[in-house]
Every structure is written in structure tokens, then in C-alpha cells.
């Protein structure tokens, strides 16, 4: 039986690119979505045509009850080989205007939601399970217009690296991918001038593609990265160099 990968937020952007990539590599897939059912269904239909076993589940990752329903899926009870924590929410506001309510909403999905998914699936992770957490360069350097997002991703980085130390003796690996500016829905509303400004800030002179991030995720799930755990891999065209 082929390995099982679970991808949260697997219907759009980096998640969809990762779904397609892992489908091509022969994984069985469970992807989650919260609000955009159409995108998830489109991705599922596409990869099923290629012969991939794949299902989509509506899950608000910040809701413990919904996450536990996901954990009851019969495929998951057979064992999860790969877990990609990709779901996220982003409310744009300046750091000085951030409210406690907004911070709580973002943290509940981006940080606590990732913990909840891992906690629910942990009993079903195989001995050599690979976990990839999708962080962000903003979780390292901050941003004036998304303090809640930066805080949630920074917490996610720290938790993932701590988890990697904890589960290493089991043979499980946990790594973080920290994308820079990627050409997804997050920047789709940019004016041509704003896009040029973004590109000018990047040493490589362009935005990254979801497929380029998916390639790094694939590597971290593969046998080629068996001596990597607790790493934060930057995929940003040179924009941020820690």
C-alpha cells in the first residue's frame, strides 16, 4: 500500500501545488480545506484522473472537535507517513492597531490549529513519519502590517523545532519551510506597481512559485533528507538571509 500524506490547506496555493506534487510521487492523500470547497474539489478531481487515491475533508484546524473527526478517518487509523501543516489565516493590520481578538483568531488557526492537528494524528504517525510545517519569513523578521501573522508563524517555528528534538529518538523528523513572497492569492490583488516593488526587493528579481515551495516540501519528505530535522529551510529568492 502506498504511503499516506495529510496536507492541511491542500486545495489552494502552496497546498495545492504540494498536493499535485505528492500525488505524482504516488502518495495516497487526505487534504483539508475550511471555506474554499470548490478549489479543493477541483484539485481532487484533477489528481484522481491521474489515478491517485485522494479525499478532501472540511476541517477548521482551530476547532478541536473538527480535527478529531479528521483523525477518525479510516485511512488515518492505518497510519500517517507524512504530515504537511500548511493551513493559515492572515488578517492585514498594522502592528500598532492589532487587537487582542484579532491576535487570538490568528493564533487559534495558525499556531494552535497546527498543534491540534498534530496532537490528534500523533497516535497514528508511523515510526518514520515526516512532518513539514509551513512557516514564513515573517515569523523571523516581522512585518509592520501583519503582526498577528508574524507572531503566529514565529510561535510555529519554535514549536516545530522543539517537537523535532522531542520525537527524534522515535525516528520521526520535523522540519520547517519558510517561504518568502510566493505568487499566491495573498498577492493576487497587488497593483502592477506593488508587484514591481515586491520583485525589486528580491535579489532574484521575481516572486517564487507554489511549485518551487512544493519541491522543497517533497525533498523534506523524501529519503534524501533523512539526516535533517529541526531545520528551517528558507525559500525566498534571497529576500531574507538570517
- CA atoms of 163 and 172, how far apart (whole Å): 10
The number of residues making up the chain comes to 242
Q: Which residues pair with 182 in a beta bridge?
A: 208
Q: Is 149 a catalytic site residue?
A: yes
- CA atoms of 88 and 8, how far apart (whole Å): 9
Q: Which residues pair with 208 in a beta bridge?
A: 182
- CA atoms of 145 and 147, how far apart (whole Å): 6
Q: Which of 33, 149, 227, 240 is catalytic?
A: 149
| Continuous H helices in the chain | 13-24, 37-48, 64-71, 74-78, 100-110, 112-121, 138-141, 147-167, 192-201, 210-221
Residue 148 CA from chain centroid, whole number: 17
What secondary structure does DSSP assign to 209-227, as a single string?
Answer: -HHHHHHHHHHHHSGGGTT
Helices (H) and strands (E) in the chain, counts: 10, 7
Sign of torsion over alpha carbons 226, 222, 13, 48: negative
- CA atoms of 196 and 206, how far apart (whole Å): 9
Give the residue numbers annotated as catalytic, written as ranges.
149
Amino acid at each position: 500500500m502506498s504511503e499516506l500524506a495529510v496536507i492541511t490547506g491542500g486545495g489552494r496555493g502552496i497546498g495545492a501545488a504540494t498536493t499535485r506534487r505528492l500525488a505524482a510521487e504516488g502518495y495516497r492523500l487526505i487534504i483539508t480545506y475550511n471555506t474554499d470547497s470548490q478549489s479543493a474539489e477541483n484539485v481532487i478531481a484533477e489528481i484522481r484522473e491521474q489515478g491517485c487515491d485522494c479525499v478532501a475533508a472540511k476541517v477548521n484546524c482551530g476547532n478541536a472537535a473538527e480535527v478529531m473527526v479528521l483523525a477518525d478517518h479510516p485511512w488515518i487509523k492505518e497510519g500517517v507517513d507524512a504530515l504537511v501543516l500548511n493551513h493559515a489565516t492572515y488578517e492585514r493590520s498594522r502592528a500598532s492597531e492589532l487587537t487582542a481578538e484579532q491576535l487570538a483568531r490568528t493564533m487559534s488557526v495558525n499556531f494552535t490549529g497546527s498543534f491540534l492537528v498534530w496532537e490528534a494524528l500523533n497516535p497514528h504517525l508511523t515510526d518514520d513519519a515526516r512532518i513539514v510545517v509551513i512557516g514564513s519569513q515573517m515569523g523571523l523578521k516581522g512585518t509592520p502590517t501583519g503582526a498577528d501573522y508574524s507572531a503566529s508563524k514565529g510561535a510555529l517555528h519554535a514549536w516545530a523545532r522543539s517537537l523535532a528534538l522531542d520525537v527524534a529518538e522515535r525516528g520521526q523528523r520535523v522540519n520547517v519551510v519558510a517561504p518568502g513572497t510566493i505568487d499566491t492569492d495573498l498577492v493576487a490583488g497587488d497593483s502592477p506597481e506593488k508587484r514591481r516593488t515586491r520583485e525589486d526587493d528580491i535579489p532574484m528579481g521575481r516572486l517564487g512559485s507554489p511549485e518551487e515551495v512544493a519541491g522543497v516540501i517533497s525533498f523534506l519528505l523524501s529519503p534524501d533528507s533523512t539526516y535533517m530535522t529541526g531545520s528551517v529551510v528558507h525559500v525566498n529568492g534571497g529576500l531574507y538571509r538570517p
